Structure 1
Amino acid sequence: MPPIINKEMCISCGKCYDVCPHDVFYNSVEGEVPVVSYPEECWHEAACVAECPVGAIKLRTPLQMMISYME
């Protein structure tokens, strides 16, 4: 499940694509809202979520990951 960027909140700072270790935001242009080019490459490390200064990025946790943490 790819990261979801709230375009209304995003300030186009580019920190998310700078910090992403898997090039999920490949081909994003500086000064524009990032593009999720390779959603299948997202490993849900949440580096982009932590780096976003305005909280414009959320991750959808895949069901398989949610089930593994249920008690």
Structure 2
Amino acid sequence: MPPIINRSLCIRCGTCAQICPLDVIRVRRGEGRRIVDVLVKYPYECWHCLACVKDCPKEAITMRYPLSHMMLTMDVPGKEQG
């Protein structure tokens, strides 16, 4: 599942595209090489490493995890941790 970019918070700095180890996130440039858009180009290639989420200066990226990943972190009611 892909990272989700909140367009209202994104300042189009390109940090997420630079930090992504798999080039999942790409930037689209306009005139003067100015970044005009940030795109999740290859959503199903994402490793969910959270690099883009952690390095975004405006916290504009959240991660959507596949169900199999979410089940690994669920607490079991009535079961003690430890």
TM-score under structure 2 length normalisation: 0.78
**2: CA distance, partners of 1:54 / 1:33:** 15
**2: CA distance, partners of 1:33 / 1:55:** 16
Q: Percent identity?
A: 49
RMSD of the alignment, in Å? 1.2
Bigger radius of gyration among the two: 2
Question: After TM superposition, which residue ranges in structure 1, 4 or more long, deviate above 6 angstroms?
Answer: none
Gap runs ≥5 in structure 2: 30-34, 76-82
TM-score under structure 1 length normalisation: 0.89
What does 1:8-47 align with in structure 2 at a 5 Å threshold? 8-26=8-26, 28-30=27-29, 31-47=35-51
SS in 1 for 2:4: strand
Aligned length: 70
**2: CA distance, partners of 1:32 / 1:3:** 19
Post-superposition Cα deviations, 1:18-55, rounded to whole Å, max 9, x if no partner, equal 000001014x2242231111001101000000110000
- Which residue, out of 51, 63, 67, partners 2:67? 63
Greater share of residues in strand: 2
Instruction: Give how far 1:61 is off.
Output: 1.3
